[in-house]
Protein backbone atom coordinates (compact mmCIF):
# COMPACT_ATOMS: atom_id res chain seq x y z
CA UNK A 1 0.00 0.00 0.00
CA UNK A 2 1.24 3.43 -0.93
CA UNK A 3 0.58 5.99 1.81
CA UNK A 4 0.58 9.68 0.85
CA UNK A 5 -0.01 12.87 2.76
CA UNK A 6 -2.01 15.54 0.97
CA UNK A 7 -3.40 18.87 2.09
CA UNK A 8 -6.67 20.46 1.03
CA UNK A 9 -6.70 21.27 -2.71
CA UNK A 10 -3.76 18.95 -3.40
CA UNK A 11 -4.09 15.99 -5.75
CA UNK A 12 -2.58 12.68 -6.72
CA UNK A 13 -2.57 11.11 -10.18
CA UNK A 14 -3.29 7.44 -10.80
CA UNK A 15 -1.85 6.54 -14.16
CA UNK A 16 -2.16 9.22 -16.81
CA UNK A 17 -5.88 9.88 -16.60
CA UNK A 18 -7.24 9.57 -13.04
CA UNK A 19 -6.88 12.51 -10.65
CA UNK A 20 -7.87 12.34 -6.98
CA UNK A 21 -8.13 15.71 -5.25
CA UNK A 22 -8.64 16.50 -1.56
CA UNK A 23 -11.59 18.90 -1.56
CA UNK A 24 -12.35 19.34 2.13
CA UNK A 25 -11.14 18.23 5.55
CA UNK A 26 -13.44 18.09 8.60
CA UNK A 27 -12.63 16.41 11.90
CA UNK A 28 -12.53 12.72 10.91
CA UNK A 29 -13.75 13.09 7.31
CA UNK A 30 -12.06 13.76 4.00
CA UNK A 31 -14.01 14.82 0.91
CA UNK A 32 -12.35 13.60 -2.30
CA UNK A 33 -13.00 14.57 -5.89
CA UNK A 34 -12.18 12.06 -8.61
CA UNK A 35 -11.67 12.98 -12.25
CA UNK A 36 -11.60 9.92 -14.49
CA UNK A 37 -12.67 8.94 -18.01
CA UNK A 38 -16.23 7.59 -18.30
CA UNK A 39 -14.93 4.11 -19.06
CA UNK A 40 -13.21 3.93 -15.65
CA UNK A 41 -15.66 2.73 -13.00
CA UNK A 42 -15.37 4.59 -9.69
CA UNK A 43 -17.27 3.20 -6.68
CA UNK A 44 -17.10 3.36 -2.92
CA UNK A 45 -15.65 0.06 -1.67
CA UNK A 46 -18.92 -1.16 -0.14
CA UNK A 47 -20.76 -0.54 -3.43
CA UNK A 48 -18.02 -2.28 -5.41
CA UNK A 49 -18.19 -5.32 -3.10
CA UNK A 50 -21.99 -5.47 -3.44
CA UNK A 51 -21.71 -5.38 -7.24
CA UNK A 52 -19.13 -8.18 -7.17
CA UNK A 53 -21.36 -10.30 -4.92
CA UNK A 54 -24.40 -9.78 -7.16
CA UNK A 55 -22.34 -10.71 -10.22
CA UNK A 56 -21.10 -13.88 -8.52
CA UNK A 57 -24.66 -14.86 -7.55
CA UNK A 58 -25.93 -14.20 -11.08
CA UNK A 59 -23.14 -16.31 -12.58
CA UNK A 60 -23.95 -19.20 -10.23
CA UNK A 61 -27.72 -19.02 -10.82
CA UNK A 62 -29.24 -22.23 -12.18
CA UNK A 63 -31.59 -20.28 -14.48
CA UNK A 64 -29.26 -20.85 -17.43
CA UNK A 65 -29.52 -24.65 -17.16
CA UNK A 66 -32.98 -24.71 -18.76
CA UNK A 67 -31.84 -22.36 -21.49
CA UNK A 68 -29.13 -24.80 -22.53
CA UNK A 69 -31.75 -27.55 -22.89
CA UNK A 70 -33.94 -25.32 -25.05
CA UNK A 71 -31.09 -24.39 -27.36
CA UNK A 72 -30.05 -28.00 -27.89
CA UNK A 73 -33.53 -28.95 -29.25
In a domain, 39, yes or no: yes
Q: Is the pLDDT of residue 73 over 80?
A: no
Asked if residue 34 belongs to a domain, the reply is yes
Residue 72, domain member (yes or no): no
* Number of domains the chain is built from: 1
Strand partners, 67: none
Sequence-ordered list of residues with C-beta below 8 angstroms from that of 55, at least 6 positions apart, any chain: none
Enclosing domain of residue 31? 11-65
The answer to pTM > 0.85 is no
**Interatomic CA distance for residues 68 and 66, integer angstroms:** 5
Q: Is residue 19 part of a domain?
A: yes
Predicted pLDDT at 60: 82
What are the pLDDT digits (tens) for 17-64? Answer: 999 999 999 999 999 999 999 999 999 999 999 999 999 988 887 765
Q: How far apart are CA 9 and CA 32, in angstroms?
A: 10
Higher pLDDT, 34 or 70: 34
Q: Show the DSSP H helices in the chain as ranges.
A: 45-60, 63-72
Amino acid sequence: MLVLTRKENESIMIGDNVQVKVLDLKENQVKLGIVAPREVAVHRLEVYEAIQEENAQAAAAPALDGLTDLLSK
